[in-house]
Structure 1
Amino acid sequence: MRRTLMVSLLAMSSAHAAAQSQQAQVTDFAKHLQVSYELLNASPELCPQELKKCYYSRIRLTTKEQLNLTDWNIYFSQLTPVIVNESSQFDIEHINGDLHRITPTGEFNTFAPNAEYSLTFYSQGSQITRAEFMPNFFVHTQGGEAQVIDSTKTKLDPETGLELQPYLEPFTDKQKQFRVNKSDNTQWADSALLYQQTQSVSETIDISAQLIPQPQSLIITDKLSQVDLTKGIVLKTKGISKQSLTPAINRLKLLGVAQTPNGLAVSVNLSPEKGAHLEHYRLTIDAQGIQIAAHSQVGAFYGLISLAGLIDTQNLTLPYLAIEDQPRYSFRGLHIDVARNFLSKDFILSTLDQMAAYKLNKLHLHLADDEGWRLEIPGLAELTKVGSRRCFNAPDDCLLPQLGSDISGSSQSDGYYSVDDYLEILAYANARHIQVIPSLDMPGHSRAAIHSMEARYRHYLAKGDLKAAERYRLVEPEDKTQYSSIQHYKDNTLNVCLDSTYLFIDKVIDEVQQLHLQAGTPLTTYHIGADETAGAWVDSPACDQLRSNFSEQIAGLHSLNGYFIERVSAMLAKKQIKVAGWNDGMGETRPDKMPKSVQTNSWSQLYSQGHIATHKQANYDWDTIISTPEVTYFDFPYEAHPQEPGNHWAARNISSRKVFEFMPDNLPAHAEIWTDINNQAYRSDDTTNPLRSGVKYQGLQGHLWSEMLRSDRQAQYMLFPRLLALAERAWHKAQWELDYDHSGKVYSSDSKHFTEDAIYAREQDWQRFASVLGRKELLKLEKAGVFYRIPTVGAKFKNGKLTIKTIFPGIPVEYQEKSGEWLPYQVNDEVTKPLKIRAMSQDLSRKGRALTL
Structure 2
Amino acid sequence: MRSFLLLIGSLSSTTAMATSLSQDTLDTFAQQLSVQYELISAKPEKCPEPYASCYLSRLTFSTPVEINSNQWSIYFSQLMPIYHTDSSQFSITHINGDLHQLKPTAVFSGFTADQPISIEFYTQDSQITRSEFMPNYLLASKGLTSRVINSTKTSIDPQTQLELQPYLAEFLTLDQLQISKEDATPWMGAAYLYENESRPTLPQAPLSLIPKPMSLQKLSGDGVNLSQGINVIGLDEQQLKLSAAFGRLAQLGVKQNELGITTSISLGLSSPHSEAYELQIKDQKITIKANTDSGAFYALQSLAGLISVDDLTIPALSITDAPRYSFRGMHIDVARNFRSKAFILNTIEQMAAYKLNKLHLHLADDEGWRLAINDLPELTDVGAKRCLDLTEQQCLLPQLGAGLDSSSAVNGYYSQADYIEILKYAQAHFIEVIPSFDMPGHSRAAIVAMEARFNRLTAQGNNVAAAKYRLREPEDKTRYSSIQHYNDNTLNVCLDSTYQFIDKVLNEVNTLHIKAGVPFKTYHIGADETAGAWLDSPSCKALQAQQPTLHSFNGYFIEKISALVASKGLKVAGWSDGMSDVELANMPNNVQSNAWATLSESGHEVAHRHANQGWDVVLSSPDVTYFDFPYQSHPQEPGNHWASRAIDSQKVFSFMPDNLPAHAEIWRSVRNHHYSADDRKTIRTKPFIGLQGHLWSELIRSDQQAEYMLYPRLLALAERAWHKAPWELEYNKQGTKYDQHSDYFNVDLQQQKEADWQRFAALVGFKELAKLEHVGRFYRLPSVAARVTNNGVDAFVPYPGLTIEYQNSVGNWLLYNAANKPALVQQVRAISVNGLRKGRALKVD
What's the TM-score once normalised by structure 1's chain length? 0.95
Aligned twin of 1:87: 87
SS in 2 for 1:301: helix
Residues 206 and 388 of structure 1: is their aligned pair in 2 closer, same or farther, counting only changes over 3 Å?
Answer: closer
Distance between the aligned counterparts of 1:800 and 1:595, measured in 2?
67
Aligned twin of 2:773: 782
> Which deviations, in whole Å up to 9, do the C-alpha atoms of 1:610-636 show, x marking residues without a partner?
111111111111010000000000000
- Per the TM alignment, residue 190 of structure 1 is displaced from its structure 2 partner at its CA by 0.5
Aligned twin of 1:211: 209
- Per the TM alignment, residue 522 of structure 1 is displaced from its structure 2 partner at its CA by 1.4
Confirm whether residue 65 of structure 1 aligns to residue 60 of structure 2: no
Aligned twin of 2:653: 660
> Which deviations, in whole Å up to 9, do the C-alpha atoms of 1:264-322 show, x marking residues without a partner?
1111112243x531101000000151111111100110010000011112221111111
- Asked whether the 8 Å contact 1:572–1:579 carries over to 2, the reply is yes
SS in 2 for 1:795: strand
Distance between the aligned counterparts of 2:381 and 2:678, measured in 1?
50
Residues 19 and 601 of structure 1: is their aligned pair in 2 closer, same or farther, counting only changes over 3 Å?
Answer: same
> Which deviations, in whole Å up to 9, do the C-alpha atoms of 1:27-53 show, x marking residues without a partner?
011001100000001011211214231
Aligned twin of 1:359: 355
Distance between the aligned counterparts of 2:537 and 2:362, measured in 1?
29
- Asked whether the 8 Å contact 1:406–1:413 carries over to 2, the reply is no
- Asked whether the 8 Å contact 2:183–2:671 carries over to 1, the reply is yes
Comparing 244-253 with 625-634, greater Cα deviation is found at: 244-253
SS in 1 for 2:223: strand
- Asked whether the 8 Å contact 1:683–1:746 carries over to 2, the reply is yes
Aligned twin of 2:712: 721
- Per the TM alignment, residue 702 of structure 1 is displaced from its structure 2 partner at its CA by 0.1
Confirm whether residue 167 of structure 1 aligns to residue 167 of structure 2: yes
Distance between the aligned counterparts of 2:113 and 2:529, measured in 1?
47
Specify which of 776, 787, 792 is matched with residue 796 of structure 1.
787
SS in 1 for 2:399: coil
Distance between the aligned counterparts of 1:137 and 1:528, measured in 2?
34
Confirm whether residue 491 of structure 1 aligns to residue 488 of structure 2: yes
- Asked whether the 8 Å contact 1:267–1:291 carries over to 2, the reply is yes
SS in 2 for 1:787: coil
Aligned twin of 2:230: 233
Pairing 1:552-631 to 2, within 5 Å after superposition: 552=549, 554=550, 557=551, 559-631=552-624
Distance between the aligned counterparts of 2:682 and 2:793, measured in 1?
52
Distance between the aligned counterparts of 1:119 and 1:136, measured in 2?
19
Distance between the aligned counterparts of 2:20 and 2:225, measured in 1?
72
Pairing 1:400-549 to 2, within 5 Å after superposition: 400-549=397-546
- Asked whether the 8 Å contact 2:204–2:766 carries over to 1, the reply is no
- Asked whether the 8 Å contact 1:205–1:768 carries over to 2, the reply is no
Aligned twin of 1:370: 366
Confirm whether residue 290 of structure 1 aligns to residue 286 of structure 2: yes
SS in 2 for 1:170: coil
Confirm whether residue 313 of structure 1 aligns to residue 309 of structure 2: yes
> Which deviations, in whole Å up to 9, do the C-alpha atoms of 1:386-426 show, x marking residues without a partner?
00000112521100000011212111111000000000000
- Asked whether the 8 Å contact 1:371–1:402 carries over to 2, the reply is yes
Aligned twin of 2:810: 819
> Which deviations, in whole Å up to 9, do the C-alpha atoms of 1:490-545 show, x marking residues without a partner?
01000000000000000001101111111111111100111132110000000000
Aligned twin of 1:324: 320
Aligned twin of 1:649: 642
The Cα RMSD (Å) is 1.4
- Per the TM alignment, residue 253 of structure 1 is displaced from its structure 2 partner at its CA by 1.2
> Which deviations, in whole Å up to 9, do the C-alpha atoms of 1:9-34 show, x marking residues without a partner?
xxxxxxxxx99971111101100110
- Per the TM alignment, residue 807 of structure 1 is displaced from its structure 2 partner at its CA by 1.2
Distance between the aligned counterparts of 2:238 and 2:96, measured in 1?
55
Distance between the aligned counterparts of 2:304 and 2:68, measured in 1?
64
Aligned twin of 2:380: 384
Distance between the aligned counterparts of 1:283 and 1:689, measured in 2?
41
Specify which of 341, 363, 368 is matched with residue 337 of structure 2.
341
Aligned twin of 2:10: none
Aligned twin of 1:181: 180
Comparing 152-161 with 232-241, greater Cα deviation is found at: 232-241
Pairing 1:40-59 to 2, within 5 Å after superposition: 40-59=40-59
- Asked whether the 8 Å contact 1:802–1:828 carries over to 2, the reply is no
- Per the TM alignment, residue 161 of structure 1 is displaced from its structure 2 partner at its CA by 0.5
- Per the TM alignment, residue 225 of structure 1 is displaced from its structure 2 partner at its CA by 3.6
- Asked whether the 8 Å contact 2:527–2:578 carries over to 1, the reply is yes
Gaps of 5+ in 1: 1-17
- Per the TM alignment, residue 818 of structure 1 is displaced from its structure 2 partner at its CA by 2.0
Confirm whether residue 197 of structure 1 aligns to residue 196 of structure 2: yes
Distance between the aligned counterparts of 1:531 and 1:754, measured in 2?
36
- Asked whether the 8 Å contact 1:240–1:270 carries over to 2, the reply is no
Comparing 828-837 with 114-123, greater Cα deviation is found at: 828-837
Distance between the aligned counterparts of 1:424 and 1:603, measured in 2?
30
Which amino acid counterpart does residue 424 of structure 2 have in structure 1? A
Amino-acid identity (%):
53
- Per the TM alignment, residue 459 of structure 1 is displaced from its structure 2 partner at its CA by 0.4
Distance between the aligned counterparts of 1:837 and 1:21, measured in 2?
49
Distance between the aligned counterparts of 1:102 and 1:237, measured in 2?
70
Residues 227 and 23 of structure 1: is their aligned pair in 2 closer, same or farther, counting only changes over 3 Å?
Answer: same
- Per the TM alignment, residue 830 of structure 1 is displaced from its structure 2 partner at its CA by 4.6
- Per the TM alignment, residue 825 of structure 1 is displaced from its structure 2 partner at its CA by 1.0
Distance between the aligned counterparts of 1:654 and 1:636, measured in 2?
7
Confirm whether residue 759 of structure 1 aligns to residue 757 of structure 2: no
- Per the TM alignment, residue 126 of structure 1 is displaced from its structure 2 partner at its CA by 0.4
Which amino acid counterpart does residue 516 of structure 1 have in structure 2? H
Distance between the aligned counterparts of 1:206 and 1:85, measured in 2?
57
> Which deviations, in whole Å up to 9, do the C-alpha atoms of 1:595-648 show, x marking residues without a partner?
001000010011101111111111111010000000000000000000000000
Confirm whether residue 687 of structure 1 aligns to residue 684 of structure 2: no
Distance between the aligned counterparts of 1:240 and 1:795, measured in 2?
55
Distance between the aligned counterparts of 2:791 and 2:747, measured in 1?
37
Specify which of 233, 239, 243 is matched with residue 242 of structure 1.
239
Distance between the aligned counterparts of 2:641 and 2:117, measured in 1?
31
- Asked whether the 8 Å contact 1:527–1:581 carries over to 2, the reply is yes
- Asked whether the 8 Å contact 2:51–2:124 carries over to 1, the reply is yes
Confirm whether residue 739 of structure 1 aligns to residue 765 of structure 2: no
- Asked whether the 8 Å contact 2:371–2:414 carries over to 1, the reply is yes
What's the TM-score once normalised by structure 2's chain length? 0.96
> Which deviations, in whole Å up to 9, do the C-alpha atoms of 1:216-257 show, x marking residues without a partner?
1111112x7432112222122337432211111111111121
Which amino acid counterpart does residue 151 of structure 1 have in structure 2? S
Specify which of 640, 645, 655 is matched with residue 633 of structure 2.
640
- Per the TM alignment, residue 261 of structure 1 is displaced from its structure 2 partner at its CA by 3.1
Distance between the aligned counterparts of 2:284 and 2:128, measured in 1?
59
- Per the TM alignment, residue 551 of structure 1 is displaced from its structure 2 partner at its CA by 2.1
Distance between the aligned counterparts of 1:677 and 1:479, measured in 2?
38
- Asked whether the 8 Å contact 2:222–2:284 carries over to 1, the reply is no
Distance between the aligned counterparts of 1:68 and 1:84, measured in 2?
25
- Alignment length, in residue pairs? 826
Specify which of 818, 827, 840 is matched with residue 836 of structure 1.
827
Aligned twin of 1:150: 150
Aligned twin of 1:136: 136
Which amino acid counterpart does residue 213 of structure 1 have in structure 2? P
- Asked whether the 8 Å contact 1:802–1:829 carries over to 2, the reply is no
Distance between the aligned counterparts of 2:446 and 2:224, measured in 1?
57
Aligned twin of 1:10: none
Distance between the aligned counterparts of 1:262 and 1:117, measured in 2?
75
